[in-house]
């Protein structure tokens, strides 16, 4: 159980974090099913520490994603406010294109 993550939360992908959590769950299940020894308390403490690290990484990833989405929304809002007619034309064109594609697929 010495697989302590050496990378920072920002270097791991959500898939890697999920893999770590799955590994922790497997270890917890092995402890519950396996033979009990005097080291169980120590192993549980170590697993709890790992789980807390994973929770911190998830919180960090969520925070980063939220900041990126918010920044993207701000940039989009500024672009729409700076060029309202162009934005309206693009939205209208996209709507016509989607409507034409849907209408075409419904006729088949």
**pLDDT attached to residue 38:** 57
State the DSSP code for 11: G
Residue 104 lies in a domain: no
Residue 27 lies in a domain: yes
Round to whole Å and give the CA distance between 17 and 58: 7
Residue 103 lies in a domain: no
Taking residues 62-77, report their average pLDDT: 94
pTM, full prediction: 0.48
Q: How many domains does the chain have?
A: 1
- Please give the backbone phi and psi of residue 2, each rounded to the nearest 5 degrees, phi first: -100, 30
**Which of 37 and 78 is assigned the larger pLDDT?**
78
**pLDDT attached to residue 11:** 76
Q: In the chain, pLDDT over 70 holds for what percent of residues?
A: 82
Residue 1 lies in a domain: no
Taking residues 48-64, report their average pLDDT: 89
Structural domain range at position 68: 9-82
8: left (phi over 0), alpha (psi -120 to 50) or beta: beta
Residues 32-55 have pLDDT tens digits of 766 666 567 777 788 888 888 988
């Amino acid at each position: 159980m010495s697989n302590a993550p050496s990378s920072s939360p920002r270097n791991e992908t959500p898939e890697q974090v999920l893999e770590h959590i799955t590994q922790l769950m497997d270890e917890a299940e092995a402890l519950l099913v396996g033979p009990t020894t005097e080291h169980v308390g120590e192993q549980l403490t170590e697993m709890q520490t790992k789980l807390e690290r994973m929770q911190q990484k998830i919180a960090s990833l969520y925070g980063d994603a939220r900041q990126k989405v918010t920044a993207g929304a701000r940039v989009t809002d500024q672009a729409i406010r700076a060029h309202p007619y162009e934005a309206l034309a693009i939205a209208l064109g996209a709507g016509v294109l989607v409507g034409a594609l849907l209408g075409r697929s419904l006729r088949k």
